[in-house]
A and B are shown apart, each in its own frame.
Chain A
């Protein structure tokens, strides 16, 4: 049922009444319609995601290596690999880098998503203002998200390069020559630049989703508040934010998952360096699977990542409101 808290008592009363009626009158046949509507989704998921993910979980308990990778799945796979229990997991936990890399993943996700959300929300509010002369901006706002990651990284790389990179050229022009550096190779700047790339890429989608959310807030709620003499902040706090709860939740969960699992931005730009200062769990998984020939251990790390994300999603959804 509708998760919105109703301000308008008349409509809420109708609502409660009608939903009560609906519950009573909905026959099993109607519910079948509901299931039918969901039906087309299920086989696709089984094929594309669930089965491969199950294979990944199985993998994490084996010593699968490159040979096993070439076999893919099937009986031969089980001939090649040995089940080694929780060894992969134990190896991970005793590996000196594991906790550091995990923490860095959290830091990346936390900082990037927070920045994206705050900046995205402000941008959504600005878009909603309908400032004169910026109508066109809505049409191009999503550009960063469309640029393929590979070309984004190549271009950022090129723009931040010493000498011919535009960033350093600009710094030189405004007389800050001493600040020019190889940004991706700098201990101090590599991680912040990774975050900036994430923000640049994803923030517009926050803005768009929240803007769509703003657009569907009924005007009469604001009008009612104005009659009561509410300040701008009160309106924002008590009308805007609650109404954005749902799109916020979706967009935050989406990006936490996306950022946590994304490997190519970092992998293509710094490769996890310098001295491991941008290494995160997702790049470790890639490295283990493709470079270090440790498929089993990569899968174990993948499973850990999945568990972390499940716990996060579960807790987060509980926190923001029981009904997802």
Chain B
């Protein structure tokens, strides 16, 4: 008897649970995955409020997963269900999504877009695959050499122009400046920043890029010698002491927080480290003491650097493509871009959102933006060299990234010479069927 009772009550419980669950499931009209709405940073509230007050659309107030990795995993798993309608990501992710048929080509909408002239051609090209546009540029950045002006002045040093000077200067600083290391490479396994830094230096030898994405499968453009040269730079940096041997395998946090914490005299990063000044006086001092210039150039190369363009994309399976396009336009609109980029210290992708007058006006209008924080000289420093930025080829970057990081680690952990590692890297990249 009591067994039956127990089982019945459990069944009732289960049914009740299922019932409440179905009641919860009422789908809102549009879904947006935008990590800056979720992740905790100093401008989040202002940005979300601005968006929610101004949107003409019915957008669910839940803005998806917080991390880029989670966004990619979950979008691949559930993109086909049409959820979310609009999402942001990295260009590398966009290439992957496109391959899987998950993102909508924007060409049909783009033709009639009144603001299309606001976007520089180079940024649009970075988000094109086979001539079709798959994402609206949302923000962009180039990697620059940041250096500590006071350190260079005090020790009467010149900012390095060439790789040789670079290695020499970094080693000199590590040797002679107390508690300071000349430079830092990010070198952790499975860390995308490592590949980006590698490309920053590689592009100087070959600004056509690493792969020719027009051919199918994509053709490797690099020569074994070029790869070896870059790997040799890594090798030299560690053996000469520009980067401490104990900093091998360090992650992006070490690079960013180490620089703003005053541990390094030089780094190659993007404008985002500006955000560190929000909480930290020491970081503010370091940033105020920072000079910005293009990364040192290989003796036989030309100035070039890694450029990243963040795309805002539309789900190919969205049930509301028209409304999704409207949403895409809203989150890339001038006013919104102006606000979010001024708050986060990122470079906008639209020209009208980069105008100094507009930024100044915004700072005046809103009292939640600290003038100190706006840092126009900072962004200007990056914008000055924007045209040497090279965007990654439109291929799926996961495997190349793996191989590049492997090669770097083989070299800096002294398992292989730069030449050996370059030989293997060349073979691996050349065999890829991208």
Residues of A within 8 A of B (CB): 33, 36-37, 39-40, 66-67, 69-72, 157-158, 161-164, 180-182, 184-187, 190, 267, 270-276, 287, 290-293
A184–B77 touching, CB < 8 Å? no
B189–A274 touching, CB < 8 Å? yes
- Tell me which residues from 401 to 419 in chain B have a Cβ below 8 Å from any Cβ of chain A: 401-402, 405-406, 409-410, 413, 415
**Seed contacts A162-B246, A272-B189; 7 additional CB < 8 Å A-B pairs:** A36-B3, A182-B246, A182-B247, A270-B188, A271-B191, A275-B406, A276-B406
- Tell me which residues from 201 to 249 in chain B have a Cβ below 8 Å from any Cβ of chain A: 244, 246-249
Contacts of A157 in B (CB 8 A): 251, 253
Contacts of A162 in B (CB 8 A): 244, 246-247, 250, 254, 258, 263
How far apart are the CA atoms of A227 and B399 in the complex, in Å? 69
How far apart are the CA atoms of A290 and B73 in the complex, in Å? 7
B249–A190 touching, CB < 8 Å? yes
- Tell me which residues from 83 to 141 in chain B have a Cβ below 8 Å from any Cβ of chain A: 96, 99-102
For B405, give the chain A residue with the smallest CB separation: A273
Q: Which secondary structure dominates where chain B touches chain A? A: helix
- Tell me which residues from 378 to 412 in chain B have a Cβ below 8 Å from any Cβ of chain A: 396, 398-399, 401-402, 405-406, 409-410
For A37, give the chain B residue with the smallest CB separation: B3
Contacts of A180 in B (CB 8 A): 246
Contacts of B189 in A (CB 8 A): 270-274, 276
How far apart are the CA atoms of A163 and B401 in the complex, in Å? 29
Task: Tell me how many residues of B have a C-beta within 8 Å of chain A.
Answer: 43
How far apart are the CA atoms of A287 and B248 in the complex, in Å? 22
A275–B415 touching, CB < 8 Å? yes
Number of A-B contacts (CB under 8 A): 112
B254–A182 touching, CB < 8 Å? yes
B398–A291 touching, CB < 8 Å? yes
| B249 interface neighbour in A164, A267, A270, Cβ under 8 Å | A270
For A40, give the chain B residue with the smallest CB separation: B10
| A185 interface neighbour in B72, B96, B187, B261, Cβ under 8 Å | B187
How far apart are the CA atoms of A270 and B190 in the complex, in Å? 8
A70–B101 touching, CB < 8 Å? yes
| B399 interface neighbour in A33, A72, A184, A292, Cβ under 8 Å | A292
Say yes or no: is B329 at the interface (Cβ < 8 Å to chain A).
Answer: no
B7–A271 touching, CB < 8 Å? no
For A32, give the chain B residue with the smallest CB separation: B3
B409–A273 touching, CB < 8 Å? yes
| B99 interface neighbour in A39, A67, A187, Cβ under 8 Å | A67
A161–B246 touching, CB < 8 Å? no
For B263, give the chain A residue with the smallest CB separation: A163
Say yes or no: is B79 at the interface (Cβ < 8 Å to chain A).
Answer: yes
Say yes or no: is B44 at the interface (Cβ < 8 Å to chain A).
Answer: no
Question: Can you give 30 contacting A-B residue pairs, CB < 8 Å?
Answer: A36-B3, A37-B3, A39-B7, A66-B99, A67-B100, A69-B76, A70-B77, A70-B80, A70-B102, A161-B254, A163-B261, A182-B246, A184-B188, A185-B187, A185-B247, A186-B246, A186-B248, A186-B249, A270-B188, A270-B189, A270-B249, A271-B188, A271-B189, A271-B190, A273-B189, A274-B249, A274-B409, A290-B72, A291-B190, A291-B398
